[in-house]
Structure 1
Amino acid sequence: MYQPPHHREDRREVQHALIRSHPLGLLISSGEGGLLANPIPFRLVNTDLGMGTLQAHMARANPQWRALAAGAEVLIVFQGADHYITPAWYETKRETGKVVPTWNYAIVQVRGTVRVIEDSQWLRAQVNRLTDGHESRRMIPWAVGDAPDDFITAQLKGIVGIEVQITAIEGKWKVSQNRNEADRRGVAEGLDAEGSETAGAMAGMVREWGGL
C-alpha cells in the first residue's frame, strides 16, 4: 500500500479498533484461476499475543476456500470511514486557488497465512461468537439457539471456517493531515455542514488526527 509518512498509522490499538468497528473485510487471494476477492465478516482475536488472528466462515459453495486450503498468503482489506473532499472547503482556495479535490479515508490492510477448518464444533462456536458479538447491541438480541437445532446443523454443513494468522498489518489514515491548519478546519466544518453520518465521522477524524 502506498504510504506517505504523514498518513501512516502504526498504532496497533488503532488498527485493531478499525477492524472491530468495520469487520466486513475484502478477502483477496490467488489460485489457479487467478485472483479471487470476497467480502467476509471477520472476528479479531488473540490480540494480546501479537498482531492477532482473524476468524470467519464462508459458503462451502464459494470456490475461494479451496484455493485457501493450498496455503497461499492472503490480503484482507478493512475499509473505515471515507468521504469526498471538495477544494471549496480549503482556505487556500481563497488565498491562491491552487487546490484540487481529494478523497479522505481510513483503511487497514492485513496479510497472513490461512487455515481452513471443517470441524463442526469449531464452526458452531464461530457462528455463535460472531452472532453474539453483533446481536448484543440490539434491544432484543437474536441467538443461534433461537433456531431449531437440526436447522442450524444443516446450515453448518454448508460453510467452512477460515482462520488467518496475521503476519503483517498496515494502517493508513488519509484525513487531511497534509493540509495546513486553516484548511483542516475548513474541511471539518464543511463535513459537519454535510449533515450525514459518514461526513460527521470523517469530520471527527480530521479533528482528531489534525490536532484541532
Structure 2
Amino acid sequence: MSDDDVTAMLTGVGAADLVTATPEGLRATLLPFVYADGTLRGHLARNNDQWRLPVLGEAMVIVRGPDAYVSPSWYATKAEHGRVVPTWNYVTAHVYGEVTFHDSAEWVERVVRDLTAKHENGRARPWAVDDAPERFIAGQLRAIVGVEVAVSRVEAKRKASQNRSEADRAGVAAGLAAEGDAAMAREVYP
C-alpha cells in the first residue's frame, strides 16, 4: 500500500485492536481511535486492566479494512483450466509505536470530543458532547482513560486479487457485489 493509502486507512479508522505485551502476557482490546499528527488516540474503560499493566516494548494496533472469502467459481479461468482454489482478500495495517495512557480528565474529554466530531460529522442531526448534562458527561469521563500510540512504523497490506487476470478480478468483484460486499468489490476492481 502507498503512504497515501495508509494515511487514508488510519484517518478512516473507527475501532481497532490495541495489543500490548505485559508481564502477565498479551492483552488486546477493541477501542475507538482517531488518527492525527502521527498518533492514534482513543479511550478504554477504567476497569480494563490493560492500561494499568506495564507495557513491554512497543504496542501494536491492528486496523482492519474490508475482507472477504473469494470463491474460485468467480474466476473466469475456472472454465479454462480448473486450476483455481479459494482464497481470502483483505486490507489491514499493523501499526506499531509507544503507547501512553492518560488519566487526565482534560485529555480524555478532548479525545472524546474528537471522536464524537469525527463520527457525528455529516449526520442530519449530529449529537455533540455538550448536548448531554455536564454532570453526566463528567461521570462518564471518570469511567474511562485515554490511550495514545505514537506511530513509529506501519506494516500495511492489501490482498485484493491483484495477482489474478483482469477477467478474474472482474468476476471476483461481481461475485462480491452480488453477495453485498461492495467495499471489498471496490478494492478488487475499483
Range of TM-score over shorter length: over 0.9
Letter in 2 for 1:135: E
Match of 1:76 in 2: 61
Match of 2:11 in 1: 20
1:178 offset after TM fit, Å? Answer: 0.9
Is residue 144 of structure 2 the alignment partner of residue 159 of structure 1?
yes
Q: Indicate which of 78, 103, 106 corresponds to 2:91.
A: 106
Cα distance in 2, alignment partners of residues 189 and 156 from structure 1: 46
Q: Indicate which of 39, 43, 46 corresponds to 1:60.
A: 46
Cα distance in 2, alignment partners of residues 171 and 14 from structure 1: 9
Contact 1:24 1:78 in 2 (8 A): yes
1:22 offset after TM fit, Å? Answer: 3.2
Per mean C-alpha deviation after superposition, the further-off stretch among 52-61 and 17-26 is: 17-26
Match of 1:38 in 2: 29
Cα distance in 2, alignment partners of residues 149 and 71 from structure 1: 37
C-alpha RMSD of matched pairs (Å): 1.4
**Normalised TM-score (structure 1):** 0.85
1:71 offset after TM fit, Å? Answer: 6.1
1:70 offset after TM fit, Å? Answer: 4.2
Match of 1:3 in 2: none
Cα distance in 1, alignment partners of residues 143 and 116 from structure 2: 17
Per mean C-alpha deviation after superposition, the further-off stretch among 19-28 and 86-95 is: 19-28
Match of 2:187 in 1: 205
SS in 1 for 2:124: coil
Contact 1:71 1:113 in 2 (8 A): no
1:108 offset after TM fit, Å? Answer: 1.1
SS in 2 for 1:108: strand
1:21 offset after TM fit, Å? Answer: 2.6
Aligned length: 190
SS in 2 for 1:79: strand
Describe the superposition over 1:94-140 as per-residue Cα deviations: whole angstroms up to 9, x where unpaired: 11111110111111110000111111111111111111111112111
Q: Percent identity?
A: 44
Describe the superposition over 1:186-207 as per-residue Cα deviations: whole angstroms up to 9, x where unpaired: 112222322x1xx211111111
Q: Tell me: CA distance 1:19–1:58, structure 2 relative to 1, closer, same or farther (3 Å).
A: same
**Normalised TM-score (structure 2):** 0.94
Match of 1:97 in 2: 82
* Unmatched segments (≥5 aa) in structure 2: none
Q: Per residue, is there more helix in 1 or in 2?
A: 1
Match of 1:193 in 2: 178
